[in-house]
Amino acid sequence: MKKNYSLKLIAATVALFAAGFSANAQTVNLTAVNDSRQIQYVAPQKVTAVNNKALVACGVDTVNYPQRKATGFGFTGVNTNQLPSVGQYYNGTNTDSITVSGFDFLAVKQDTTKGATMVVVAEMYLAGTDSFATGMPLGSDTIIVDTSFFGGNLVALTKSATFQNPVTVGQPYVLVVSVLDTLNLLVVRNSFANGDGGFEDLSSVFFNGGWTSGLSIAFGGAAFNADFLFHPYVSYDLNTDFSINPDSLGMPNQTVSIVNTSSDIINDRMYNLAVALGLGVLNHTYNFGNGGGDVRITDSNVVYSTLQNYTITLNDTLIQYNFNRCASAETKILAPAVNPLAPLVISEINYNPAEGGTDSTEYIEIYHNGTTTLQLNGYTFGEGVDYLFGINDSITSGQYFVIAVDSSGFRNTYGFDADAIWTSGGLSNGGEDISILDAMNRTVDSVDFDDNMPWPSGSLAGQPDGGGASIELMNVNFDNNVASNWVASTAPVNGGIMVNGNPVTGTPGNAFTTSITTVNRTANNFKMYPNPTNGLVTVELPANLLNERVQVFAISGKLVAEELVINEKVNFNFSDLDSGVYFIRVGNLTEKLIINK
């Protein structure tokens, strides 16, 4: 990519400091800079670099980001009478160290007043929170600039400042050019008339005793939306890396999150020419090892279908402003876990029993959805309650393991002993995350339940938040983090135990039965007609069932429709459901509905 052109500075007269310069809401008339000379730009030739692995020391680059933004060029006059110093901001990164050994700037002494040469100071400062130079200079050099214009050739106008000791920074910095007397130094910048600064607000000037943003000053009514052509000599490392979560496969068709953690500098427009040109998609190329080939993407969630080894490779490419290609690669192996994750399912939770005071009948039910007996030694609860499973704790295929808060309270209510009693903690009445970790500290299963809709909720009799009911997963093959897959249990315990006037309902240690439990019609029951129906149904509710949810379950136990009801008579349209048998549940009452289309 080669660009050759010459541009007039500003027609026949460059009046950069003509009437209309303003700063800090103050208008100042400054001396005009008259010059009709042309500036010419010739781009450097492209070279290539060699691929390396993981951590690469990229070669020294001259970052001519302001020059690459230019559609035209001009001069800004710098002298102690008006603007003794001008600055240009550059990014730093929190994760990468950037070493600056000096910088280029483009300038010429305006005329031969007091001789053909003048002294110029080039310095580097840290950028403050306002993006202006702050503190003491980190690096500096003194340059002699003369009146040689070289026909306006940018390369010939370039002055090189080299620091005696290179400066390494991990934060933004500012390059500053200053003069020491009233002689006028013409510093080359891109065009503010054309808006080459892109409103990035990277330039600054020292005016009236302090630094101010270029965008806060104006020339003839036009904001100084431009950059000074100060180009740092930088070097840095390019580190290629990515994270894999989980870092091993525990089951077929598992989704793995792959997140790029490479050096931030690769995505910075000031150091990566591809980003500045809008081609940041070229930065990262993955091969996920699943037969899908190379993919240009930053992060991804990838499904791995089988339990086998997969080789994942990330190639990073940074195009420097001198057209050198700095590239590195990292490869990782995604393998099956030493032992696949156990197929345990949290299937029932009793988090706020009907008893007053201290809850003594809280419990968690766990289902083993596998084919062999599972030894639980070393398993723990990561969240919810505290318990370390011991050598005698196990669960057979297709069976349940019940862990409770209190042995006596559980036995007296449900008529049998819980499999274990947790060590400490209790279930939150407002909902929380419950997680089970295996002996390798991997999350086997977790449920983040709530006591508000769309989760089963309510504190009336037959409801789970103090009304006596547990919440049950309707099918152990359903996603237990989807609220609609849970319902408040309606299965009475031990023939109908009552606590504080509320029926205790739940099936700890047994399969879910709520979806097929029906009750006899009473004066307080709801009415539903016509039944059978082609899909249009009217439901009439007694006063005690207002503000309850009407839930519709398929015969499999899956919740297929739900709505909160506030009126005594409500019309429903279930015509989108297939023909078959369904169960309509309101509060703790259930009726069978037949849809026949």
Q: Do residues 44 and 165 lie in contact, with contact meaning Cβ atoms separated by under 8 Å?
A: no
Same domain, 18 and 153: yes
Same domain? For 73 and 143 the reply is: yes
| Residues 154 and 281 reside in one and the same domain | no
Boundary of a domain, candidates 462, 494, 517: 517
How far apart are alpha carbons 112 and 77 in whole angstroms? 15
- What is the per-residue pLDDT for 45? 35
* Cβ partners under 8 Å of residue 227, min gap 6: 65, 66, 69, 88, 189, 190, 196, 197, 200, 202, 203
Q: In this structure, what CATH number is given to the domain that contains residue 254?
A: 2.60.40.10
pLDDT > 50? residue 451: yes
- Given a cut of 50, is residue 7 above it in pLDDT? no
Locate 90 and state its tokens.
Answer: 């550059």
Q: How many domains does the chain have?
A: 4
- Cα(61)–Cα(232) distance, integer angstroms: 8
d(CA 455, CA 463): 11
pLDDT at 31 over 90: no
The half-sphere exposure of 448 on its side-chain side, counting CA atoms within 13 A, is 0
Confidence category of residue 164, pLDDT binned at 50, 70, 90:
very high
Q: Mark which of 235, 250, 280 sits at the end of a domain.
A: 235
- What is the domain-level CATH number for residue 142? 2.60.120.820
| 31 lies in the same domain as 165 | yes
Measured distance CA(154)–CA(42) in Å, rounded: 8
Q: Per the structure block, which two tokens stand in for 144?
A: 């002699």
Around Cβ 441, how many Cβ atoms within 10 Å?
A: 9
pLDDT score of 28 more than 80: no
Q: In terms of residue numbers, what domain contains 546?
A: 518-597
* 362 shares its domain with 482: yes
Query: Does residue 33 or residue 589 have the better pLDDT?
Result: 589
At which of 235, 265, 299 does a domain end? 235
Q: Verify that 411 and 391 share a domain, yes or no.
A: yes
Q: Which two tokens stand for residue 38?
A: 């042309």
Q: Is there a cis peptide before residue 166, judged by omega within 30 degrees of 0? A: no
Q: Are both 40 and 137 inside the same structural domain? A: yes
Higher-pLDDT residue of 439, 345 = 345
How many C-beta atoms lie closer than 10 Å to residue 66's C-beta?
Answer: 25
Position 9 scores a pLDDT of: 30
Q: Are residues 331 and 447 in the same domain?
A: no
Shared domain check, 532 and 473: no
275 and 315 in a common domain: yes
Residues 314, 396: one domain?
Answer: no
The verdict on 414 and 436 lying in the same domain is yes
CA dihedral of 382, 383, 385, 388, whole degrees rounded to 10: 0
Q: Which residues pair with residue 235 across a beta bridge?
A: 99
In 149-189, which ranges are continuous DSSP H helix? Answer: 154-157
Torsion of CA 563, 565, 570, 573, to 10 degrees: 0
Instruction: Say whether pTM exceeds 0.85.
Output: no
pLDDT band at 597 (very low <50, low <70, confident <90, very high): confident
Question: Which of 202, 172, 5, 182 minimizes the C-alpha distance to 110?
Answer: 182
